[in-house]
Amino acid sequence: MLAIARAPARSAKAVGAYYTPEPVVRSLVSWAVHRQTDRMLDPACGDGRFLVCHANSVGVEQDPDACTTVYARTHGRLIHQGEFFSWAERTQERFDCAAGNPPFIRYQRFSGATRDAALRLCRRHGAAFSALTSSWGPFLVATAALLRRGGRMAFVVPAEIGHAPYAAPLLEFMMNSFAGVQLVAIREKFFSELSEDCWLLYAQGFGEQCDGISLSLTDRFDPCTKPPAATLVATRSDLEKWSGRVRPFLLPSTAREAYRHIADSQHSIRLGDVARVRIGYVTGANDFFHLRPSQARRLQIPRRLLHPAVRNGKCLAGRSVDTHRVRAWMEADEPILLLRLRDATKLPEAVRDYLDTEQGQQARQTYKCRNRKPWYVVPDVTVPDGFLSYMSGEGPRLVENAAGCVCTNSVHALRLTNGMAMSRLVELWATPLTRLSCEIEGHPLGGGMLKVEPREAARIVLADRARDTAWQREIFCDALTTMKRWRHYGG
């Protein structure tokens, strides 16, 4: 066992340590390895379960406890104990094939020297990841770069390879580096402990190029020595049309074509053409800054400093948030009154007293409050024309703001920019094409939820009832069901 550096014991989530089920391990190794003499790499070998399937294999792992397990179960096979990217930068070793399951560590934790080494290495090999990338993409690029010409790799990948912005440079790199690249999209989970779905990635013929990603769609993982036959090939130009995403290819071709026909027409409108979508305000201490009507009365906070707020997506039922709705919230004594202080001067005594309470002392210690001056003025509070829920099972709701409310960052604030009436926008939002567009432009979040970021919302296509036919509407409704099934919502 070669020791590079000792990694402290950390939680499974922090280091992306979720070990792969044995049938998946055996399937990937049996495809990647052609001959007994093939030298195989697992760049993040965990407890060594990929390595035990093939005698001529080499593992890298930073967790010393896992390395001890691997060493014992592989009877002295070569394990490089330490950080993969710094090893990959230095090693002269080259491999016939690679198999494994890269750690899935989000950018907030994939940081410091490890990320710097990873991004530097990837750039050198032509894959330009941004600093917001998760670890798994750079792991795959750095692994591919250690293959001999003609080499193969077979890996478990998070299903976000179908939609994450950092999947695009990875897919581009794979097409520029391999004669064939195949993704197997698997609908049912095969990692019970993960909320994220996983797919499989196979690539062969390192050192050549191909013009597309072959895709197989399957309901469940079945042990196999080769991937299921591809159902389609998403070419580079196909991918370009779908913002570089593979996920829309989960739809039948009739639905994709019908959608593109409308989305690409000169009459097509996107939400970003008629509205600006922004996140709502961030208080840093929601419970402190939002008061119940009874609490505001008791504290004698002046009414002019309190503003009714939409606190979360649950408030967005129906077509509009109107004065009746706000009155109902007030009567139910909901904590919906934002303490909206605009500057440091002339604070009434009642407000000063509230800021000095124990809750106020705690609130001012939160990260957001500590980093603004004065701590009690919540920035970016505006009264938008409408609200968009951005995390939901059924799909995002778009609702008119008919009561002059403000909103927290649990919903998006929507400002009309191009003269379209809000009531018209709400009407268009309910059409099957637009609801399908939310699925295509948004992304699954696990647990059946769909999330729509502001930049994704801007791309959502607004259907015009006059322009789609009954036949198209039926296709879009079926397609909507398909996309929801893939994100485990509604059976």
Ligand X SMILES: C[S@@+](CC[C@H](N)C(=O)[O-])C[C@H]1O[C@@H](n2cnc3c(N)ncnc32)[C@H](O)[C@@H]1O
Interacting residues toward ligand X by CB under 6 A: 15-20, 42, 44-46, 49-50, 60-63, 66, 83-84, 100-101, 103, 114
User: From CA 206, how far away is CA 232, in angstroms rounded?
Assistant: 21
User: From CA 443, how far away is CA 422, in angstroms rounded?
Assistant: 25
Task: Please answer whether residues 123 and 66 qualify as being in contact, where contact means their C-beta atoms are separated by less than 8 angstroms.
Answer: no
User: From CA 46, how far away is CA 25, in angstroms rounded?
Assistant: 12
Helix axes 167-177, 136-144, angle to 10 degrees: 10
Task: Please answer whether residues 82 and 104 qualify as being in contact, where contact means their C-beta atoms are separated by less than 8 angstroms.
Answer: no
Residue 281 DSSP code: B
User: From CA 186, how far away is CA 174, in angstroms rounded?
Assistant: 20
Q: Is 3 helix (H, G, I), strand (E, B) or coil?
A: strand
Distances (CA, A) of 481 to 159, 435, 438: 18, 11, 13
Task: Please answer whether residues 412 and 355 qualify as being in contact, where contact means their C-beta atoms are separated by less than 8 angstroms.
Answer: no
- The helix or strand, by DSSP H or E, that contains position 235, with its residue range, turns out to be strand 232-235
Closest listed residue to residue 4, CA positions, set 77, 90, 71, 118? 90
Q: How far is the CB of 144 from ligand X (least distance, A)?
A: 16
